[in-house]
Chains A and B, each alone.
Chain A
């Protein structure tokens, strides 16, 4: 069974799309998309075990640190860039968002929602940094250096003039247990955003690509 956020992304990706998966892990999503939707593309990963699993699955995987950017991918190289559970570990999540929407017109991003009610209980009532299924690390060894909330991310997208095509939340990874959209910032453990370039960025997509 695929992780709940991956399952939702799987449903959102159009048939035959060229997909770039940032932090692709063991390649589960790209392998499923290749089989079910004739998707092609690449995954970027730095974890050796994840890379080996991708190779065994036949998923194209590039050993590359996301903090180094996506300079090796041309403008509009893909139809869709996916990044699951990696945003919060990046040095500059805002710049990565720009990069993702340079490489493709649309991106899907999932991250742990720091405003999830359980996290609020940890911090607000008990006075400790939250530790949960989606945030399993202690404060001193966590790779998650840029934690944010459902609302924070929506603000960032608005500030950048991006279009939020769709959004959803996941709770505890339970399949099919998607909450209503009424209070996503409170009840969503995992935030899922589908974001497209704003009207101001349209010219970039129309720019002719390099010959060859």
Chain B
């Protein structure tokens, strides 16, 4: 048995909460009943004032920290920031991490059965929005006895959920950390998502999303979608320093096999992803990204859209992120300033592109830890273990 690192939350087991209350969705349809799979780390205090909600990104899930099995090769996706003594200190906070509806890691989604038909939902699963996720997360909070989160925290698409939380449930969120996110996707962002969707939808094995009924998986399409996505997660410099023009062999083969190391890397990433992620979920998540635009209902005036928010915000961007560049985070921070809301904005110097939000970087960790220390103080958690 492998010894687990001391600064990890150790072995964790996902839990499932079943909900029978129908959930009305932004698309006009209603989810009659659903399951949410989630993990928790740390202990909820008697007053319920130390809960932190983690919102995941496009390909994320509930397993944010710790290990499912002592022999796991990798811990949860945000293990660098969640654990004893880490930025989100599990000796102080009770952390809740949930797999969003429409996901493919246990919560109700395209690859779970539709209770009305007994068949898999597949492509008939309703289109989800960030707002729908936030409503479902609020219901999970009710179930767990959390009236108000000490903080809601997330990166990328997760950051959008944090922002939505502050607007939809201002009385239930004490602090917000919006990391490497954007108040809305740019035309270029939507364009990349569309390429990914077309890659999946044009795979002959896709069968309009009914691939499971045919005993097939649109692996080629999903692999291609992931390869395109992955390019946007890294910076040009990061790719350059990692792979340069390195070849796998000494000379060119003059064929279309894998020659450059970067090709090998992308194919590997795509292959791994295409066997572990559901294509319908990927399609739906990219649409949720595209639809998000809280300012739209206010004639594009983001400051006006932010009026309901009450909590202090931390907005963080990364210098080499070109998927959601620092300007987009600054746009959010400036709109919060115009709306007269408490906000801090930090731009972390990092070569790692959009992926930087997942990685440990000394300044990022210092900023994150300082903000969470303030959360703890505001919530009166300082003297408690």
Contact = CB atoms under 8 A, between A and B. Distances in A.
B345 A63 contact: yes
Given A55-B367, A60-B344, A62-B345, 15 more contacts: A42-B343, A52-B370, A55-B314, A55-B374, A56-B373, A56-B374, A58-B377, A60-B312, A60-B343, A61-B346, A72-B330, A72-B337, A74-B338, A77-B338, A212-B301
B367 A52 contact: yes
B38 interface: no
Contacts of B370: 52-53, 55-56
A146 interface: no
Among A56, A63, A74, max chain B CB count under 10 A is at A63
Contact of A42 (B304, B330, B337, B378): B337
Contact of B363 (A48, A60, A73, A74): A48
A40 B341 CA distance: 10
A74 B304 CA distance: 14
B337 A61 contact: no
A33 to B, nearest CB: 14
B337 A55 contact: no
Interface string B317-358: 000000000000010011001100011111100000000000
Interface in A70-90: 72-74, 77
B366 interface: yes
A199 to B, nearest CB: 28
10 A-B pairs with the lowest CB-CB distances in the bound complex, closest first? A55-B370, A56-B370, A72-B334, A212-B304, A58-B374, A52-B370, A62-B345, A61-B344, A55-B371, A52-B366
A51 interface: yes
Interface in B43-73: none
B343 A51 contact: no
A62 B344 contact: yes
A51, A58, A61, A72 interface centre (most CB from chain B within 10 Å): A58
A104 interface: no
A73 B337 contact: yes
Interface in B192-238: none
A59 B298 CA distance: 29
25 contacts: A42-B343, A48-B363, A51-B344, A52-B363, A52-B367, A53-B370, A55-B314, A55-B346, A55-B371, A55-B374, A56-B371, A56-B374, A57-B374, A58-B312, A58-B374, A58-B377, A61-B344, A61-B346, A62-B343, A62-B344, A62-B345, A63-B347, A64-B345, A212-B298, A212-B303
A29 interface: no
A120 B334 CA distance: 44
Interface in A30-62: 40, 42, 48, 51-62
Nearest to A53: B370
Q: Which of B334, B346, B363 has the most CB of A within 10 A?
A: B346
Nearest to B347: A63
Contacts of A77: 337-338
Contact of A63 (B301, B346, B377): B346
**Do most interface residues of chain B lie in helix, strand or loop, or is the interface mixed?**
helix
B72 to A, nearest CB: 33
Q: Pick from A53, A54, A72 the residue with the most CB of B within 10 Å.
A: A72
Contacts of A212: 298, 301, 303-304
Interface string B263-306: 00000000000000000000000000000000000100101100
Contacts of B343: 42, 60, 62
Nearest to B301: A212
A51 B346 contact: yes
A55 B363 CA distance: 13
A19 to B, nearest CB: 13
A59 B371 CA distance: 10
Q: Tell me which of B301, B304, B367 has the highest count of chain A C-beta atoms within 10 A of its own C-beta.
A: B367
A53 B366 CA distance: 10
Contacts of B338: 72, 74, 77
A42 B301 CA distance: 22
A60 B315 CA distance: 11
Interface in B363-385: 363, 366-367, 370-371, 373-374, 377-378
Contacts of A56: 370-371, 373-374
A55 B334 contact: no
B347 A60 contact: no
A42 B378 CA distance: 18
Contacts of A51: 344, 346, 367
A57 B342 CA distance: 13
Contacts of A64: 345
Contacts of A60: 312, 342-344
Of A51, A61, A73, the most chain B CB neighbours within 10 A belong to A51
Given A54-B344, A55-B344, A212-B301, A62 B337 contact: yes
A56 B344 CA distance: 11
A54 B347 CA distance: 15
